[in-house]
Amino acid sequence: MTYPDTIPALTIQSTPEAAQAYAALTQDWNPIHLDADFAADTPFGRPIAHGTMALNLLVEAIARAGLRIADLDIRFSAPTYVGQSLTATARHQGAGSYEVTVLAEGETPVLTGRATLKARG
Amino acid sequence: MSDPIWTYDRFEPGQSFGEVTIPLDTERTDGWAAIYGPPTGPDAPDGMIVAGMMEAYIRAIQPRPKGNVHASQTLAFTGATVPLGAKVTYHVSVRDKALKKGRNWVTFSLRAEAAGQELMTGEILSIWAA
């Protein structure tokens, strides 16, 4: 098959409403994501988005490109603060292997790694 | 008397936390749609399987200390699909643990299946807080 050079960028806003929705989705009601007063007493100082909100943005961007993840290996390289935008991208390195990235506010990598992609279906 | 908190010392490679079954129900589908947009077909988006993995991981290992850090993640999808409304069963276990530079690193293995078909496997690498 022919692999696209890049996976089209997909962006969401990690608003407080999105944090609530993600908590409902994962049943992860950790107050560090939802409660500004609680988060103020943590090293982050303010609420941070669930880490896998960024991962699932990448998963969704790949699916929308008609591909699926055969394997993926990523690390969460920085926190995303609630209110920041998240943008997922992937760049083809050859033979279906992609460098994958999610940026906060279009500039700070919060997720980096690689994935091998295959056609869906 | 409540169960003791799961600490690093209590984890052992190969240890199983059993199964957690997650319904891909309306609440979870609505949560997905509110963030990523509505699913475009009858099958669950791959990301809902990942979200279910996180829920299973959290539910399987309780109570847990505050401040664990999700450091990295692997995933592999088989290509099998599951319809919205179905139930997905996750198998949760400890693959490995290591003490490095004073930090407690624990790798958890998760395997998702529905109707007898494997959907996805993944490993969560956590820095365990206690």
Mutate to test the interface with B, among A10, A59, A86, A100 (most CBs of B within 10 A): A59
User: DSSP string spanning B73-99?
Assistant: EEEEE-S---BTT-EEEEEEEEEEEEE
Q: Which has the closest alpha carbon to B87: B9, B11, B19?
A: B19
Q: B65 touching A, CB under 8 A?
A: no
User: What is the CA angle B83-B21-A26, rounded to 5?
Assistant: 80
Residue A76 resides in a domain: yes
Residue A113 backbone class (left: φ over 0; alpha: ψ -120 to 50; beta: rest): left
CB contact under 8 A, A69 and B35: no
pLDDT digits (tens, 9 = 90+) for A69-82: 999 999 999 999 99
Q: Quick check: B17 pLDDT over 70?
A: yes
* Distance (Å) of CA A2 to CA A62, B18, B123: 15, 41, 29
Q: How many separate domains does chain A show?
A: 1
Across the interface, whether the CB atoms of A76 and B77 are under 8 A apart is answered no
Contact (Cβ atoms closer than 8 angstroms) between residue A70 and residue A96:
yes
What does the pLDDT average to over A6-32?
93
The pLDDT of residue B66 is 84
- CA–CA gap between residue B7 and residue B129 (Å, rounded): 8
State whether A12 and B36 contact (CB < 8 Å).
yes
Number of helical H runs and strand E runs in chain A: 4, 5
Contact between A73 and B70 using a beta-carbon 8 Å cutoff: no
Does the residue A31 lie in any domain?
A: yes
3-state SS, residue B9 = helix
Residue with the two structure tokens 């603060």: A81
Report yes or no: B28 and B98 within 8 Å, Cβ to Cβ. Answer: no
Q: E-assigned strands of B1-130? A: 16-23, 69-77, 87-100, 103-114, 117-128
- What are the tokens at B4? 């003791």
Q: What's the CA gap between B65 and A83, in Å, rounded?
A: 26
Question: What values do phi and psi take at B50, rounded to 5?
Answer: -70, -45
Q: Do B36 and A71 touch (CB under 8 A)?
A: no
Within an 8 Å CB–CB cutoff, is residue B118 touching chain A? Answer: no
How does pLDDT run across B31-69, given as a tens digit for each residue?
999 999 999 999 999 999 999 999 999 999 999 998 888
What is the set of domains in chain B, with CATH numbers?
A: 11-128 (3.10.129.10)
CATH code, A113: 3.10.129.10
In a domain, residue A96? The reply is yes
Find tokens 């290996």 and name the residue: A73
Q: Which helix (H) or strand (E) holds B47?
A: helix B46-60
Residue A41 lies in a domain: yes
A70 inside domain: yes
Identity of the residue numbered B102:
G
**B20 in A contact zone (CB under 8 Å):** no
Touching check for A118 and chain B: CB below 8 Å?
A: yes
pLDDT at A91: 98
Say how far apart CA B22 and CA A72 lie, in whole Å: 23
Give a yes or no: residue A1 inside a domain: no
Instruction: State mean pLDDT over B6-24.
Output: 97
Interface contact B48-A25, CB threshold 8 A: yes
Q: Is residue A51 part of a domain?
A: yes
Q: Within the 22-61 window of chain B, which residues sit less than 8 Å (CB to CB) from chain A?
A: 27-28, 30-32, 34-36, 45-48, 50-52, 54-55, 58-59
Give the residue among B12, B92, B80, B16 at the shortest CA–CA distance from B52. Answer: B92
pLDDT grade for B128, boundaries at 50, 70 and 90: very high
**pLDDT score at A35:** 94
Could you say which of B28, B55, B75 has the minimum Cβ distance to residue A72? B75
Residue A92 lies in a domain: yes
Q: How far is B80 from chain A (nearest CA, A)?
A: 8
Q: Does A43 touch chain B (CB under 8 A)?
A: no
Note down the domain range covering A68.
Answer: 6-119
Mutate to test the interface with A, among B21, B35, B57, B124 (most CBs of A within 10 A): B35
